[in-house]
Amino acid sequence: MTKPLLLRGGRVIDPGRGVDIVGDVLVMDGLVEATGLGIAGPDGVEILDCSGCIVSPGFVDVHTHLREPGREDVETIASGARAAAAGGFTAVCAMPNTDPVTDNQAAVGFIVRQGLAAAAARVYPIGAISVGQKGVALAEVGEMVGAGAVAVSDDGKPVVSAQLMRNALEYARTFGIPVVDHCEEPTLAAGGAMNEGLVSARLGLKGIPSEAEEIMVIRDILLARRTGGHVHLAHMSTKGSVELIRWGKERGIRVTAEVCPHHLSLTEEAVEGYNTNAKMNPPLRTAEDVAALQEALRDGTIDVVATDHAPHHYDEKEREFADAPNGIVGLETALGVNVTTLVDRGILTWAQLIDRMSVAPARLFNLRGGSLAKGTPGDVTVFDPRRMWKVDPTRFVSKGRNTPYAGFELKGRAMCTIVGGRIVHRIAS
């Protein structure tokens, strides 16, 4: 049993219940017991002084790559879960493009067990859509859900076959889980290393046009309409995708979408000098795309922020641009980037940010959490909205160091992360 925790004097923002007060949160027996003013805890309660901080339902990241099994040299479930906690996340969903691929109940069970053993942020497995993520045969979705999977995805890769995507949406409907698609039309994107535009023309790098994403976005929206299934579009990156999602939502189609902090804050110019730490898929695009994505997050067209945390070994990124693997880490910089880029500039309010990082992700993926109502899990994030800090990858909790934000001054830092009533991360003020 965990010790009772009283989080005192912070600005408690619980968007789901419209709560925004300076007050206290009491967590007991792993659950939220109360929020309000002047709460007196039971005897032996541990008191945390949260003055100057915001106290919110724990952040949930629905898109991370924890690399275990297969690439434990680059990240393990334990190191990833701890990195998540350091970033203020109380739960993460782990993508199945591991080695071997997480496409069966035993593999899902392994991830669940490793997550529990890590005893940091909660780890929810996402199972593969197709066996081996080969895009041919449907994986045993029911059994995976039974073992703890909260969604299915072939992320890392697109679902190339529309027929398979249709089948997956219909089949997953039975189990009430979303199908997450990485939208990339393979023939248009083949060989591409960055956004197709003026920068790629100058640097002599093959570009990936926006249409490679948009073609699959509209395809998935139409299939969601046909099947009544829930499609969740991963890491949206273009203005065109936003317009298509709006079209779909206006018609009541069950399409939801996520955007990553880097697509909200950086453009293709970050690639200048062949910086492999600015190489990811989908790539960084133009200022116009960034503005459209920010607006979409604000008005809810895009439902959640997810990190697409993708650690890579230093050696792998330390090579010619075209050969370097795609992906950057994001768990420990997400909050800082979002505060600096969105809240500080008045694009999102605190309530909106917390909704996009906690309430909505939990709701979309049917996870307990995203709320500070009585009886909900004691998953709380305490963060300092004014804290300035400099990004130093050598001090990351994650094993991955591949970030484009090295040396950046960010505002906003998770000071204390609580999972199930237990403190899993803490920075002394």
Partner 1 sequence: MTSALGKDLLGLEPLSAEQIRLILDTAEPFKEISERAIKKVPALRGSTIVNLFFEPSTRTRVSFEFAEKRLSADTVNVSSSGSSVSKGETLVDTARNLEAMRIDMVVMRHGASGAAQFLAERIESNVINAGDGTHEHPTQGLLDLLTLRDHFKELKGLRVCICGDVLHSRVARSNIWGLQKMGAEVAVCGPRSLLPYGIEEFGVQVFDRIEAAIEWAQALNVLRLQLERMTAGYIPSLREYNRVFGVTADRVARASKELLILHPGPMNRGVEIDSNVADGPHSVILNQVTNGVAIRMAVLYLLAGGRPELAEAAKG
Closer CB to partner 1, 275 or 349, in the complex: 275
Question: Cα 256 to chain center, whole Å?
Answer: 14
CB closer to partner 1, 39 vs 322: 322
Residues marked active site are found at 308
CA 175 from centre of chain: 22
Three-class secondary structure assignment of the chain: CCCCEEEEEEEEEEHHHCEEEEEEEEEECCEEEEEECCCCCCCCCEEEECCCCEEEECEEEEEECCCCCCCCCCCCHHHHHHHHHHCCEEEEEECCCCCCCCCCHHHHHHHHHHHHHHCCCEEEECECCEHHHCCCCECCHHHHHHHCCCCEECCCCCCCCHHHHHHHHHHHHHHCCCEEECCCCHHHHCCCCEECCHHHHHHCCCEECCHHHHHHHHHHHHHHHHHCCCEEECCCCCHHHHHHHHHHHHCCCCEEEEECHHHHHCCHHHHCCCCHHHCCCCCCCCHHHHHHHHHHHHHCCCCEECCCECCCCHHHHCCCHHHCCCCCCCCCCHHHHHHHHHHCCCCCCHHHHHHHHHHHHHHHCCCCCCCCCCCCECCEEEEEEEEEEECCHHHCCCCCCCCCCCCCEEEEEEEEEEECCEEEEECCC
Nearest to 256 by CA among 334, 169, 349: 169
Question: Residue 366 — φ and ψ, nearest 5°?
Answer: 55, 45
Token pair listed for 102 = 């997480």
Q: Nearest Cα to 171, choosing from 182, 159, 183? A: 159
Task: Quote the CA–CA distance of 213 and 190 in Å, as a whole number.
Answer: 12
- Using the minimum distance from each CB to partner 1, give the nearer residue, 34 or 203: 203
Shortest distance, CB of residue 319 to partner 1, whole angstroms? 6
* Least gap, CB of 323 to partner 1 (angstroms): 6
Please, what is the minimum distance in Å from the beta carbon of residue 155 to partner 1?
A: 23
Smallest distance from partner 1 to CB 104, Å = 31
Omega of the bond leading into 69 within 30 degrees of 0 (cis): yes
Nearer to partner 1, 199 or 233 (CB): 199
Output 185 or 196, the one with its CB closest to partner 1. 196
Nearest distance from C-beta of residue 402 to partner 1, angstroms: 15
Nearer to partner 1, 250 or 320 (CB): 320
Q: Which residues pair with 257 in a beta bridge?
A: 233
CB of 27 to partner 1, least distance (A): 49
Nearer to partner 1 by Cβ, of 208 and 343: the residue is 208
- Per CB under 8 A, residues contacting partner 1 are 196-198, 200-207, 209, 273-274, 315, 318-323
- Alpha-carbon distance of 395 to 30, in angstroms, equals 30
Nearest to partner 1 of 299, 318 (CB atom): 318
For the CB of residue 196, give the shortest distance to partner 1 in the complex, in Å.
6
Nearest approach in angstroms of CB 401 to partner 1 is 16
